[in-house]
């Protein structure tokens, strides 16, 4: 058996094109273009690359992006003032504060200060509560889980009554992912570092979401034949054949899992491109919501 | 094998006594007595009984209780005004709006209007979000799940790495229960009406929380020997030998499960008394929090 490859790159492109069409329509009908503000504190190389990619994706979709680059020694109060200024700016629909922040700044305070209507990352506890609860809807779905759900949808995966196993319980992936799968009527188990027998759970899973950050932890022999495998991990693995000395791999051992799974995301080119696509989507949704309220 | 009986009545009494001691101390040290306001709309017999029992439990713990009884034809705006009045009343620490509300009133609007610091039921989405998220703490833990956790604690159940299966995904029991068990490092699966094979999950569960409202659905043959079984259900079962024609039973078939389980709650006398005890506890916590802020 050889799994279908879930082409995150192509699906992300599709999402971005849909957003571009909607943005063009909004411009025509409302003479308005959505705007995303990014806040980058310090000069962490990875963060700088992430933020640059987010701006590029916005640009391609016709969304304005506003980049605030701030020295690493900014005080928490001054950073708060910047967030509040962006909250008040009517041309900003989404605010993204790139993590990690310098150690002297409390993430929770900064993220909690973002206007809920502009919190396109969807990490506010009120948003997470609404995401969890039956009969409630979040303002935004956190980008990575939103991307995973879109991949499942594009692959026509029937989640109703499906056995879903999420590996990892982080606030930004595992936890909201479990909530979304449960709302889609899957039976969800979240495994984590204290789980005694992860393999027992994997063996019965129709859908596996791996988001633990452990290199190639899931191998083909752990899977139920035909399972749909979504690999959120991005880990560096030594590879002397590469110029930079490593290559990127997921939490899933791709080769052995592809033999057993029904469908699987590659790393890179699976979940990664979806996260940025859904950020662009959320920025559009923020602007749509604003226009519908005015 | 015969299961230990988890005596909710005795444990609830213990909780209420602890609260009474803390209330007496608060009165002595701060010259302050916590207050709970209940809002009862209409004259539903069950609701009237529940509210009366809550007042009685407050009284026993030395907590003031304020009962607002309101005609069923009150408008939503007028009910909102009452909630806001209680929000502003400095002698009120907890506000409990008894559900169900009449059909012309939107529960969500009324419950959402309760000051988060007085929401002793803990149903606000912001509270649920904080309950779910790693590194965050809720203002209040919803009373029934809080009571279940206390029962597990009193029975010295080790939740670290335990396989926990929650039957039911309601906003007031199943959902927050799953969050609490996960925070206690259990591996949690939530089963619900769409779950394909509930028994497969029950068979491996070290801890079972049944909260589906289906009479005696869980039978002994479905359990792992030695499992701890917490029965949240309260259902009426025909019983001609009783004057009222029925008796109260849980979601668990007590007799067959008691043969297999390691410990089990009876119905009545298990979770039921804990819910009210934890409401009294939450009212105390609300007052303690207020005093610590002033």
Contact A129 B127 (CB under 8 A): yes
Distance from CA of A27 to the nearest CA of B (A): 34
Instruction: Report the pLDDT value the prediction gives residue A108, as an integer from 0 to 100.
Output: 87
Contact A134 B170 (CB under 8 A): yes
Query: Helices A143-154 & A271-293, crossing angle to 10 degrees?
Result: 110
Tally the C-alpha atoms within 13 A of residue A64's C-alpha that lie toward its C-beta.
12
Separation of alpha carbons B205 and B167, rounded Å: 11
Residue B185: closest C-alpha in chain A: A194
Query: Closest to B194 (Cβ–Cβ): which among A185, A195, A204?
Result: A185
CB-CB: which of B108, B132, B204 is closest to A132? B132
Instruction: Kindly state the tokens that stand for A252.
Output: 């899933």
Question: What is the third-level CATH fold of B143-272?
Answer: Rossmann fold (3.40.50)
In A, minimum Cα distance to B125 occurs at A129
CA nearest neighbour of B22 among B82, B67, B63, B75: B63
Give the whole-angstrom CA distance, residue B269 versus residue B249. Answer: 11
Question: What distance in Å separates the CA atoms of residue A259 and residue A256, rounded to the nearest whole number?
Answer: 5
Query: Do B185 and A200 make contact, defined as CB atoms within 8 angstroms?
Result: no
Cβ atoms B282, B265 nearer than 8 A: no
B125-143 as b/e, with b when 16 or more CB fall inside 10 Å? bbbbbbbbbeeeebbbbbb
Report the alpha-carbon distance of residue B46 to residue A190 in Å, rounded: 37
- Report in angstroms the alpha-carbon separations of A49 from A44, A46, A147, B100, B234: 9, 5, 20, 52, 56
User: In angstroms, what separates the C-alpha of A126 from chain B's closest C-alpha?
Assistant: 4
| Contacts with A131 from chain B: Cβ below 8 Å | 129
Asked if B135's CB is within 8 angstroms of A130's CB, the reply is no
Contact B61, B280 (CB under 8 A): yes
Active site residues of B: 54, 98, 121
- C-beta neighbour count of A105 within 10 angstroms: 20
3-state secondary structure B32-58: CCCEEEEEEECCCHHHHHHHHHHHHHH
A199 vs B50: CA distance, rounded Å: 45
ipTM: 0.94
Interface of A with B (CB under 8 A): 108, 124-136, 160-161, 163, 169-171, 175, 179, 182, 185-192, 194-196, 200-201, 204
Residues from B in contact with A at Cβ < 8 Å: 108, 124-136, 160-161, 163, 169-171, 175, 179, 182, 185-192, 194-196, 200-201, 204
A185·B196 Cβ contact <8 A: no
Test A175 with B136 for CB contact under 8 angstroms: no
Distance CA(B285)–CA(B278), nearest Å, equals 10
Asked, colleague to colleague, whether A31-118 and A143-272 share their fold, the answer is yes
CB contact under 8 A, A188 and B190: yes
Out of A125, A133, A190, whose CB is closest to B188?
A190
Closest approach of A185 to chain B, Cα-based (Å): 6
Mutate to test the interface with B, among A119, A121, A128 (most CBs of B within 10 A): A128
| Residue-range domain boundaries for chain A | 31-118, 143-272
Question: How close, in Å, is residue A164 to chain B by CA atoms?
Answer: 10
Contacts of A137 in chain B (CB under 8 A): none
Query: Which long-range CB contacts under 8 A does B199-205 form with residues at least 24 apart?
Result: B200/A204, B201/A187, B201/B165, B202/B165, B204/A200, B204/B163, B204/B165, B205/B163, B205/B164, B205/B165
Residues of chain A scoring pLDDT < 50: none
Name every chain A residue with its beta carbon within 8 A of the beta carbon of B182: 169, 190, 192
Task: Work out the minimum CA distance from B162 to partner chain A, whole angstroms.
Answer: 7
To the nearest 10 degrees (0 to 180), the angle between helices A271-293 and A8-30 is 20
In chain B, residues with a C-beta closer than 8 Å to the C-beta of A132 are 125, 128-129, 132, 175, 179
Structure-token pair, residue A150:
């879109």
Q: Please give the pLDDT value at position A2.
A: 85
Provide the 10 A C-beta neighbour count for residue A242. 11
Q: Which residue has the tokens 């192509």?
A: A10
Give me the phi and psi of B211, to 5 degrees please: -145, 60
Is the Cβ–Cβ distance between A235 and A252 less than 8 Å? no
In chain B (294 residues long), the average pLDDT of successive 10-residue segments reads: 92 98 98 98 92 96 96 97 98 96 94 95 94 95 98 98 98 97 98 98 98 97 98 95 95 98 97 97 98 90
Which option is the CATH number for A31-118: 3.40.630.10, 3.40.50.10860, 3.60.10.10, 3.90.76.10? 3.40.50.10860
Q: Is B169 helix (H, G, I), strand (E, B) or coil?
A: coil
| pLDDT value at residue B2 | 86
> What is the per-residue pLDDT for B1?
58
DSSP string, B200-218: HHHHT-SEEEE-S--TT-B
Dist CA B35 CA B286 (whole Å): 9
Q: For B222, which DSSP code? A: G
Residues of A with a catalytic annotation lie at: 54, 98, 121
């Amino acid at each position: 058996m050889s799994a279908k490859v879930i082409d995150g790159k192509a699906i992300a492109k599709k999402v971005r094109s849909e957003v571009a069409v909607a943005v063009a329509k909004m411009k025509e009908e409302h003479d308005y273009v959505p705007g995303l503000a990014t806040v980058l504190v310090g000069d962490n190389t990875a963060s700088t690359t992430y933020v640059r990619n987010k701006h590029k994706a916005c640009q391609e979709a016709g969304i304005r992006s506003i980049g605030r680059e701030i020295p690493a020694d900014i005080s928490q109060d001054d950073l708060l003032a910047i967030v509040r200024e962006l909250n008040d700016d009517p041309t900003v629909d989404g605010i993204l504060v790139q993590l990690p922040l310098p150690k002297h700044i409390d993430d929770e305070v900064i993220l909690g200060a973002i206007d809920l209507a502009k919190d396109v990352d969807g990490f506010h506890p009120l948003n997470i509560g609404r995401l969890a609860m039956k009969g409630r809807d979040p303002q935004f779905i956190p980008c990575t889980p939103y991307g995973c759900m879109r991949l499942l949808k594009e692959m026509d995966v029937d989640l109703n009554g499906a056995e879903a196993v999420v590996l990892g319980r982080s606030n930004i992936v595992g936890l909201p992912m479990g909530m979304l799968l449960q709302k889609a009527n899957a039976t969800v188990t979240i495994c984590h570092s204290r789980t005694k027998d992860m393999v027992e759970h994997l063996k019965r899973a129709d859908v596996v979401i791996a988001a633990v950050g452990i290199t190639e932890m899931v191998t083909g022999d752990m899977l139920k034949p035909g399972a749909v495998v979504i690999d959120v991990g991005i880990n560096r693995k030594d590879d002397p054949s590469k110029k930079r000395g490593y290559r990127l791999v997921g939490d899933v051992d791709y080769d052995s899992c592809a033999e057993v799974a029904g469908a699987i995301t590659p790393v890179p080119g699976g979940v990664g491109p979806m996260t940025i696509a859904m950020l662009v989507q959320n920025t559009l949704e923020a602007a749509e919501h604003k226009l519908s309220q005015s």
